[in-house]
Amino acid sequence: MHRPEQAAVRGLLRAVGEAFGGPVPREWQEALEAVPRHRFLPERIWLENGQGGYEPCDLQDNHLRWFDAAHADVPLVTQLNDGRASADAWPSSSASAPSVVVRMLCDLDVRPGMRVLEVGTGTGWNAALLAHRVGAGNVVSVEIDADVARQAGEALSGVEVICGDGADGWSRRAPYDRVVSTCSVRRVPWAWIEQTRPGGIVLTPWDNPMICWGLLRLTVGRNQAEGRFSPHSAFMLMRTQRQDLRIFRDVVRDEHVPAESRASLSPRLVTGDAWEARFALGLRLGDVWTAWEEDAARLWVATTDARCWAAVDDDGAVWQYGPRRLWDEVEEAHRWWEERDRPGPERFGLTVGAQGQRAWLDVPAQPVRT
């Protein structure tokens, strides 16, 4: 490694240590030094433009900015809009923030010789770090986007890159000791559990229609997997679990006649920075999502099947439409959360069986939804 690269990697290790609140564990420090992140980044990355959008940063035109970004503890967008032209700019592939990558690698508890399946190859950096630790030939990584998979395959050695839907796992190389996903899921694919040996670990970022937040770490048993959430990370949702719903396009219709009532809870308490409330409500309600109207004075709440909706104004006026009274359900879920001392993600867990998944509070015998 050249001197500027060495200095930049040392700086990155310091930044990751600060985010961690302590030094990076030695095995991962060695991996970060041996597998520099910038070697996995494409020549064009996308940086936030300060106005909620992204601007390109090209290695050729702006080498210094590109190099600094590569060695900063920030996520870097490497693909927009699934690689297609679009009026909106939304990230569809990225190199996660190094401190998040290292945290997940530590949580995964991998050791030399273990067999690992990664879902969401992206740039290939995480897969390369894993291969450095467990050994060449022990990591297989599945990426859904053909261009992204091809580029990662070119950058990687000693890792098998498969282009396909990671929800199916990769049965040909099973059983695995560890499965790690770097895209979030709303439903944990049963294939991941089936393809992990008993005692193995499945680690995945979590998503819910209410909030994309948290990391789920499951230990695999004979017929099910069980584990807890932690309050780290927010990752893009698995492509095959995405749902594109818009209130005025898909849900609310002119002919709908809603029932009117009054709110006893401010809509601000279930949105924005109320992360822990949103996380708990997401698990309790299951299929409910929210969207602020553009002027941020009215909150819309709807089910993912688009059959029910509610609208709540800051002044407490409520309108509810459909077979369920959604705002009443939100208020009930919020009361449920307060009565249990406002639990954060660490107090929740999930059990996954072949028939589906079930969230619980504190212990599996206390289901979140009854």
Ligand X SMILES: C[S@@+](CC[C@H](N)C(=O)[O-])C[C@H]1O[C@@H](n2cnc3c(N)ncnc32)[C@H](O)[C@@H]1O
Q: Which residues bind ligand X (CB under 6 A)?
A: 92-96, 119-123, 125-126, 142-145, 148, 165-167, 182-183, 235-236, 238-240
Confirm whether 93 is a catalytic residue: no
Provide, rounded to whole angstroms, the least separation between the CB of residue 88 and ligand X: 17
Nearer to ligand X, 45 or 312 (CB): 45
Look up residue 44 and give its two tokens: 């064009």
- Alpha carbon separation from 338 to 310, 344, 363 (Å, rounded): 22, 11, 18
- For the bound state, the minimum distance from the C-beta of residue 212 to ligand X, rounded and expressed in Å, comes to 12
At 298, give phi and psi (nearest 5°).
Answer: -135, 130
In the complex, minimum distance from the CB of residue 75 to ligand X, in angstroms, rounded to a whole number: 8
Nearest to ligand X of 207, 276 (CB atom): 207
Cis peptide before 56 (omega within 30 of 0): no
* Alpha-carbon span 252 to 248, nearest angstrom: 5
Note whether 342 and 276 are within 8 A (CB). Answer: yes
206 - beta bridge partners?
A: 185
Do the Cβ atoms of 28 and 105 come closer than 8 Å?
A: yes
Integer Cα distance of 329 and 325 in angstroms: 6
CA 48 – CA 57 distance, rounded (Å)? 10
Give the nearer residue to ligand X in terms of CB position, either 138 or 182: 182
Nearer to ligand X, 152 or 333 (CB): 152
Return the DSSP state at 184.
B
> Which tokens in the block code for residue 12?
């990155």
Three-state SS at 162: strand
Is 317 in contact with 250 (CB distance < 8 Å)?
A: no
Which residue is catalytic, options 92, 93, 94, 96? 96
- Provide, rounded to whole angstroms, the least separation between the CB of residue 81 and ligand X: 12
Of 144 and 211, which CB lies nearer to ligand X in the complex structure?
A: 144
Residue 87 beta carbon to ligand X: minimum distance, rounded to whole angstroms:
21
Closer residue to ligand X in complex, CB, 94/271: 94
Radius of gyration of the chain (CA): 22
Minimum CB distance to ligand X, residue 98 (Å): 10
Sheet arrangement for strand 309-313: 259-262, 317-321, 309-313, 298-303, 288-292
Nearest to residue 302, comparing CAs of 234, 242, 251? 251
Which residues are known catalytic residues? 96
